[in-house]
Amino acid sequence: MPSEPAARLISPGELAPGPINSHTAVIRPGVHTIHTAGQVGSDINGKTSSSYPEQIKQALANLEACLLAAGASPRDIVKLTYYIVNYDPKNRPHAEIIPKWLKGLRPVTTLVPVPALASPDYLFEIEAVAAVRDPSTLPAFIRPPLKSVANVDVVVVGAGLSGLQAAYDVQKAGYSCVVLEARDRVGGKTWTVPINGGKGGMDVGAAWINSVNQSRMWALAQRFGLETVEQNVKGDAMSQEAGRFPFGALPNFSKEDQDNLAMVRDKFEEFCHTVDIHSPWAHKASFNGQSVADFVLSLGATPTTLSTVTIWTRAMLGKDPHEVSALFFLDYCKSGGGLLVMRSDTYAGGQHLRIRQGTQSFSKGLAAAMTPGSVLLSTPVRRIEQLGQWAAVTARDGTQIHCRKVIVSVPTPLYADIEFSPPLPATKAGLVSQLSLGFLAKVILVYKQPWWRARGFCGLTQSFQGPVSIARDTSVDIDGSYTMTCFCVGQSGIAWSALPTREARVAAVVKHIGEIYGSVGGPPPEPKEVLVQVWNEEEWSKGGPSPVMGPGVMEAHGQALREVFGAVHFVGTETSFEWKGYMEGAVRSGERGAEEVIEALSKEEKSLGLFQAKL
């Protein structure tokens, strides 16, 4: 299946191959072209290093920021022009730095020696032309008949954000790639369901991004023309146990409990920043081997503080504190900039922006930007067999694809549903058996009006008792969609899920919200519509939002999380170094997996003497 990226790079046989470049670029129809200004080695504060290599690195970082702001990335570059002051053929650090930055991409390049640039401090300047596919010009993904054996370079298992990003990057590098998805849709835990008779949509899975430290998601939002909705924080928050309190403040517990909670919160923040996100298993601290509950109690937590921490782990992981490794939780928080950032609903926080069109638009946009027909739906993978230089991926319906590399993008515990031949190594198998998924259910109450705002509340709600542990205002006012999303998570969510019918579950949530808010303005109105999504009842998810390690698992098995197994590579939000459990983490992990595969394929080709230009 030939890939069809936004541009085709050519190195004619009549010409000697360029050391780091192709000779010709052909931009295809239906493509946005992006031009940047020249970027120099000066940082945001105007500081310029005297080191030539450091100026090159800073200029490339500036160039990448320009591309991301335009909805592109370095992988989309088709032409580079760089200007070097007093060029010396014997001193060429750019020849090493630029290819590493391009990660296998070989765009058309022009080097221009110059006597000087705009400032005497500048030694290097670079500008780019990039090409990005316009999803609106392409047909969406399809499920073509494919019963016989097919051959491609790469097979991706799973069409969530991590798998789609990996597949997109692989195709951009010029390799053929197909995605096998078990569901009848793309998106994984990004799933937007219509409400209000189809006049709006609501995310029953992943819902939030921000524009500050989630650069990949923000770039995709710009690229796909998606509108953002700022999380409502106007008004008071509400605690079932402590009543109303100002948003951003501690609940109105006793002075002793408030001081204790602030101390524990600050200790979490302090300790999480001591963890190395690239090798957390090597961390040596007193809390190694402890659960979050053990760690909190060792700090002298009061029962109220422990109950508050329970809300944190339930909301963030779908687990109660005794089920979660302290080291894992601290690493998880560090990956998102810290506990305070990850839990924040304000600027730069984990819950700052939602997408008016729904977050499944990210997955649909990535799928549509790939070669038409690349995504095969309703095709769950049964077996991955490694056969020397090749691998065979077999679906339950008999579809079989031979490939050179495989990228598995399903949640780590679901590896157990795939037969690997040869079997996964003991380190990886041990990890798979020890990871588990939390209990995650969303109950979205749709109202005619946002009644909580009229009572002076922002919608942020918390309860120690459940079934609703936390709730947020998820309205899209411009569409007339007024909703409160209730999270039934962790052990209280499991107890709620034991109710025999959907009607009973809905009634329990509506009753709980009424109990919390009934004392301030009377019983809330009945919702006009209710959405219920229980991710643990999804065969291809089995919980969420992200796999969790119990006490001792990180120290014993954490190093195996991203380990490559022969021709098989592994991605997913839990494997990301940054923003684990979030869409940002999923996309970043997909990028990493694609980089691994592209580098491996490139090395194989070089060893065979192949010099084909790859995009």
pLDDT of residue 604: 87
Choose which CATH entry (3.40.50.10880, 3.40.640.10, 3.30.1330.40, 3.30.460.10) describes domain 7-133.
3.30.1330.40
SS (H, E, C) 427-471: HHHHHHHHEECCCEEEEEEEECCCHHHHCCEEEEEECCCCCCCEE
pLDDT band for position 208 (cuts 50, 70, 90): very high
Give the model's pLDDT for residue 24. Answer: 78
Residue 577 counted as an annotated binding residue? no
Residue 182, marked binder: yes
Tens-place pLDDT, residues 152-206: 999 999 999 999 999 999 999 999 999 999 999 999 999 999 998 888 899 999 9
Q: What is the pLDDT of residue 219?
A: 97
605 known ligand binder: no
What pLDDT, on a 0 to 100 scale, did the predictor assign at position 138? 40
pLDDT for the residue 258: 98
Q: Is the pLDDT of residue 615 over 90?
A: no
pLDDT at 608 over 70: no
Across 94-110, average pLDDT: 89
The helices-and-strands tally (H runs, E runs) of the chain is 16, 30
Question: In the predicted model, what is the mean pLDDT of residues 92-110?
Answer: 90
Instruction: Give the mean model confidence (pLDDT) for residues 564-576.
Output: 98
Q: What is the mean pLDDT of residues 528-556?
A: 96
pLDDT at 596 over 50: yes
DSSP codes, 513-550: HHHHHTTTTSSPPPPSEEEEEEGGG-TTT-S-SS-EE-
Determine what percent of the chain is predicted with pLDDT higher than 70.
92
Residue 132: pLDDT band with limits 50, 70, 90: confident
Q: How far apart are the first and last CA of the chain?
A: 16
Q: Supply the pLDDT for residue 7.
A: 66
CATH fold for domain 236-343: Guanine Nucleotide Dissociation Inhibitor; domain 1 (1.10.405)
In the chain, where does the domain assigned CATH 3.50.50.60 lie? 136-211+345-424+565-615
Query: Is residue 441 part of an annotated ligand binding site?
Result: no
Residue-level pLDDT at 199: 81
Q: How many Å apart are CA 612 and CA 615, to the nearest integer?
A: 10
pLDDT at site 14: 64
CA within 13 Å, CB half, 415: 27
| Residue 209 CB contacts under 8 Å (≥ 6 apart), including other chains | 217, 218, 221, 228, 352, 353, 354, 355, 359, 582, 583, 584
Which CATH superfamily groups domain 136-211+345-424+565-615? FAD/NAD(P)-binding domain (3.50.50.60)
| For residues 415-423, average pLDDT | 97
Confidence (pLDDT) at 20: 66
pLDDT of 73: 82
Residue 119 annotated in ligand binding: no
Please check the confidence at residue 422 and state whether its pLDDT lies above 60: yes
The span from the CA of 104 to the CA of 195, in Å, is 44
Which segment of 44-58, 61-75, 167-181 scores lowest on mean pLDDT? 61-75
Percent over 90 (pLDDT), the chain: 82
Inform me whether the pLDDT recorded for 148 exceeds 60.
no
Tens digit of pLDDT for each residue in 233-253? 999 999 999 999 999 999 999
DSSP assignment letter at 156: E
Please say if the pLDDT value at position 13 is more than 80: no
133 pLDDT above the threshold of 70: no
Mean pLDDT of the chain: 92
Residues 74, 466: Cα–Cα separation, whole Å: 47
Write out pLDDT tens, residues 334-355.
Answer: 999 999 999 999 999 999 999 9
As beta bridge partners, residue 543 has: none
Whether the per-residue pLDDT at 286 is higher than 90: the answer is no
Residue 239 assigned to a binding site: no
Question: Is pLDDT at 37 greater than 50 in this prediction?
Answer: yes
Token pair for 252: 């109105």
Task: Considering the chain, tell me which residue range(s) the CATH 3.30.1330.40 domain(s) occupy.
Answer: 7-133
Whether the per-residue pLDDT at 1 is higher than 50: the answer is: no
Helix, strand or coil for residue 282?
helix
pLDDT above 80 for 405? yes
Predicted confidence (pLDDT) at residue 611 exceeds the cutoff of 90: no
Reported confidence tier of residue 144, pLDDT bands at 50, 70, 90: very low
pLDDT at 150: 73
**Which pLDDT belongs to residue 2?**
33
Banded model confidence at residue 137, pLDDT cuts 50, 70, 90 = very low
Measured CA to CA, the distance from residue 269 to residue 338 in angstroms comes to 6
